[in-house]
Amino acid sequence: MNRKPLLLVILAVIAVVSACTPSAGGGGGSGTLPVTYNVGAAAPYLLQPNKAPAGSNDNNCKPTAAHPRPVVLVHGTIATMGENFATISPLLKNNGYCVFAFNYGGTWLSSITLGNIQGLDSPYGFANTLAGFVDHVLAATGAQKVDIVGHSQGGMLPNYYVKFLGGAPKVNSIVGLAPVNHGTTLSGLLTLGQDLT
């Protein structure tokens, strides 16, 4: 079963619910970014998998009193930052948050699929990539801590980072969107893929 469209629908529903809450503004945003509430939001990122989702990765964004912590978005297995967060990233930015996203876990399979398949390498390596990215975000924004929103495997990795890689003092909260807290091998496919690399 292809789960990407289902995941995008779930994220769109979450974004619609979030849009119904009052906005406090701030966060260095200038103007309003368009927010697409359907599966089509991810379409542009299928052709540009290394493109950050709209509203993210502005190193000049400075947190405000209303939103003192930057939000780090962590995509799931066999996805990219743009595909997973095409809706929620501009929505958060429009509501005054500093938003950051990155791709992780590329393998040889990523290169033959033009980068469209990420999150396949060792989860322990992913957590180290997340640690480095959080350090970058804290340095760029001057914040003391981040909030992390992760989908699927991206909901599990921050827990490992916080528990085993010294991330606890740098993370205020973790929001997991359908996290795989116990990991997955995708019925052995990931193990097979790792054995082939």
CATH number at residue 53: 3.40.50
The Cβ-side half-sphere exposure at 140, using a 13 Å CA radius, reads 20
> Which residue did the predictor score with more confidence, 35 or 13?
35
pLDDT digits (tens, 9 = 90+) for 57-104: 999 999 999 999 999 999 888 788 888 899 999 999 999 999 999 988
From the DSSP assignment, how many helices (H) and strands (E) are in the chain? 8, 4
Per-residue pLDDT band at 171 (split at 50, 70, 90)? very high
Q: How far is CA 30 from CA 26, 59, 70, 95, 96, in A?
A: 9, 14, 16, 11, 10
Domain around 144? 4-196
Measured over the CA atoms of residue 110, residue 115, residue 119 and residue 122, the dihedral's sign is positive
Residue 182 has pLDDT above 90, yes or no: no
Residues in the chain: 197
Provide the domain count of the chain: 1
Task: Give the pLDDT of residue 94.
Answer: 96
Nearest to 125 by CA among 171, 99, 160, 176: 160
